[in-house]
Amino acid sequence: MRFVERLKVFWQSLFIQANWNYERMQNIGFLTALLPALPHVTRDSREQRRIAGRHLEYFNTQPYFASFIIGNTISQERSRLEYGLPGEEEIKKAKINMMGPFAALGDSLFWATLKPFAGLVAVFLVLVYQMKTAPLVFLILYNVPHLFTRWWGLKKGYEQQFGVIQSVFNLRCQTLIKILKMMGLIILGGSLPVFAARVGWSIPEYVNYHLLLLIFTVITLFLSLLLRRGVSPMWLLITLFLGCVLIF
Amino acid sequence: MLTEIVSACFIGALLGLDSVSFGQFQLSRPVVTGAVIGYCLGDYFNGLLLGALLELIWAGSLPIGGHVPPDVTLMGILGVIWLIMISKMTGWNINALMVIMTIIVIPIGHAGNSSEVWLRRFNNRLIAKAGNYLEAGDFTGLYRLKWWGLLFNFTRILLLLLVFVLPVHWLINWWGEPLRQGGEILLNGQLAIPLKVYYYLLPALGLAALMSLFYRRDLSLFMWGGFIWGFLLIWVVKMDVLWYTIYTLGLVLTLVPVIYLLVVKKGIEWR
């Protein structure tokens, strides 16, 4: 696939959820992302229509990791027309088999780890140092791995027809998740004394600062325990607000 | 003011497209929308501050199982528009108002979710349309469909913003003086201390939410290590906050790629 074609597919893949629907989820977005690569697969317009028709089926995965599947599908369709293998059913099955694991991996890496981590760094910069360019830091921290995954996924998905799973495995996503969680916990632990100190700066001299730190830490740990037990943050927020109004 | 507010709604609706319809660059997160909307309405820092508070509280909320968190994008955009509009029009204490906003926007977040469900049902019709384009061999029509998707979502967000913003604007215009006086008495009187306490406790809830997301028993040492690091530098050494921020984030952000590259080089998966 030429650079320009890959760029076009990349651009279209940014819209993969533009027509997100309950019936077939990202199907229209997936098909639209394939369209710029169809001339690369075949020049026959009737064949192009047949291929497009087969990819209007159900499709749903994590939008960034969808790039691997898009690249892989283009490569498999081309191979089918050139060598007769894999068959149409195999291409469909390969797509379905990749959707679930990639969705789980992408969700846990991007939604559940990188997004909160980048958010934590930005919030730390705003609330602790009052840094005005914190949103920019957040966007850079998040989008460098994001755009890399989309672009590299498209490339590897296309190049490594049957080795695409191995390519994703080579990214060591679980390792990255673990490191981000470790570093996130360091920032969280390091935030407790700072936020407690913020409280301390605005109260009278006679209040014991260390007691204040202890109280703030205990409250945070207690709230964390409640959240881990499944209590909704919304209810905690409302209870905290009402508690403050009633007690003070 | 009205022109600025309507423009902010338009920009907010454009940024809101990022959450689902286009790109997912996270331009729709409160910490970004707060800054942008704040800038549009002439109060960058307070917009950013409310955005950061909402980001902290809701960053750890993920749609897992039956739990669907409120629409953070809409909460962030609307919260900042309301905050700056109300404080400018009434002169109410902006810090007190900011704290109240973190609560008031929750139902709006749920309204955002419901409207998104409706939009996704509506999008079902587009499948048939895509089928028709395919049959006719009209690939341009297929490309056009995504713009329709974007337009529908943009209209949804814009309408929601206008529906919640304009009536508040008119209300303050009509009953400006009594509202201003009543609010001042309440926010600077009875509610002043509870709101201050709540403002200081909010980060505790945000940190707890992220802790519950990141915490693993085998990694607890890192959290306590960070705690001791912070305690020593801030409470014992009494280090300046700027240097503390530089040291902590510098250390953490350097360690992420270094450890990752070392582990990957060794070719092992580290769970």
**What is the block-wise mean pLDDT of chain B (271 residues), using blocks of 10 residues?**
93 95 94 96 95 91 68 95 93 88 92 93 93 91 94 96 95 86 81 86 90 89 93 87 89 90 79 70
What is the residue-averaged pLDDT of chain B? 90
Residues of B in contact with A143 (CB under 8 A): 25-26
Confidence at residue A6, expressed as pLDDT on a 0 to 100 scale: 94
Among residues A13, A69, A74, which one has the least CA distance to residue A42? A74
Residues of A in contact with B218 (CB under 8 A): none
Residue B25 contacts residue B50 (beta carbons within 8 Å): no
pLDDT at A160 over 60: yes
How high is the ipTM of this complex? 0.92
pLDDT classification of A2: cutoffs 50, 70, 90: confident
Contact (CB<8Å) B203/A223: no
Question: Distance (Å) from the C-alpha of residue A55 to the closest C-alpha of chain B?
Answer: 11
List, for residues B121-165, the tens digit of each pLDDT value.
Answer: 999 999 999 999 998 989 999 999 999 999 999 999 999 999 999
Question: Which pair of structure tokens corresponds to residue B220?
Answer: 């607890």
Closest-approach residue (CA) in chain B for A236: B205
CA distance A115 to A122: 11
Q: At what angle do helices A134-159 and A115-129 cross, to 10 degrees?
A: 160
Residues of B in contact with A172 (CB under 8 A): 260, 263-264, 269-270
pLDDT at A248 over 80: no
Q: What is the CA radius of gyration of chain A?
A: 24
Residues of A in contact with B219 (CB under 8 A): 178, 181-182, 185
pLDDT at A91 over 70: yes
Confidence at residue B210, expressed as pLDDT on a 0 to 100 scale: 92
The predicted model scores a pTM of 0.92
Q: How many CB pairs under 8 A join A and B?
A: 337
pLDDT classification of A65: cutoffs 50, 70, 90: very high
Q: Considering chain A, what percentage of its residues have pLDDT values greater than 90?
A: 67
Contact (CB<8Å) A49/B61: no
Question: Distance (Å) from the C-alpha of residue A85 to the closest C-alpha of chain B?
Answer: 25
pLDDT at A153 over 80: yes
| Residue of B164 and A196 predicted with greater confidence | B164
Residues of B in contact with A222 (CB under 8 A): 208
Q: What is the mean pLDDT of residues A23-32?
A: 94
Closest-approach residue (CA) in chain A for B241: A129
CA distance A224 to A228: 6
Closest-approach residue (CA) in chain A for B44: A132
Neighbouring-strand partners of residue A59 = A25
What is the residue-averaged pLDDT of chain A? 90
Testing the interface with A: which of B48, B50, B252 to mutate, by most A Cβ within 10 A? B252
